[in-house]
């Protein structure tokens, strides 16, 4: 159920974000930071997977549900990035944190506008 151009924007944002997450996790793994890396990889790439699923939702309610799951994954991703950012032992991830915040804002807007959208 595609609702508007913003849906396409979020697909692109989350796909590009997932690619950046993969590169960052590869950097973490080179420095033997496997546990955080694994958690970050799962949550960070799951955002886009759920957004992608939402594009083929069977109903508006299903679309909103999948977008809410993506928002939860984005929130978890932000948590792991904040942990990395606040530790001296992890590579800088300010850009990823900014991207994650932007994605969370777009997801929030999509969810709220989809709730008021009537068919």
Q: Kindly report which listed range (6-10, 11-15, 52-56, 70-74) carries the lowest average pLDDT score.
A: 6-10
Distances (CA, A) of 98 to 7, 8, 17, 59: 20, 20, 11, 31
pLDDT attached to residue 8? 85
CATH of domain 5-113: 1.20.1440.60
Residue extents of the structural domains in the chain: 5-113
Question: E strands along the chain, which residues?
Answer: none
pLDDT tens digits for range 15-46: 999 999 999 999 999 999 999 999 999 999 99
**The pTM is what?**
0.90
């Amino acid at each position: 159920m595609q609702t508007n151009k913003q849906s396409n924007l979020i697909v692109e944002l989350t796909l590009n974000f997932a690619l950046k997450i993969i590169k960052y996790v590869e950097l973490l793994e080179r420095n033997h930071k496997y546990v955080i890396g694994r958690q970050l990889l799962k949550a960070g790439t799951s955002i886009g997977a759920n957004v992608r699923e939402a594009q083929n939702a069977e109903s508006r309610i299903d679309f909103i549900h999948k977008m809410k799951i993506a928002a939860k994954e984005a929130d978890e991703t932000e948590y792991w990035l904040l942990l990395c950012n606040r530790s001296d032992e992890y590579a800088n991830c300010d850009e990823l944190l900014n991207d994650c915040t932007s994605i969370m804002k777009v997801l929030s807007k999509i969810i709220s506008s989809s709730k008021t959208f009537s068919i």
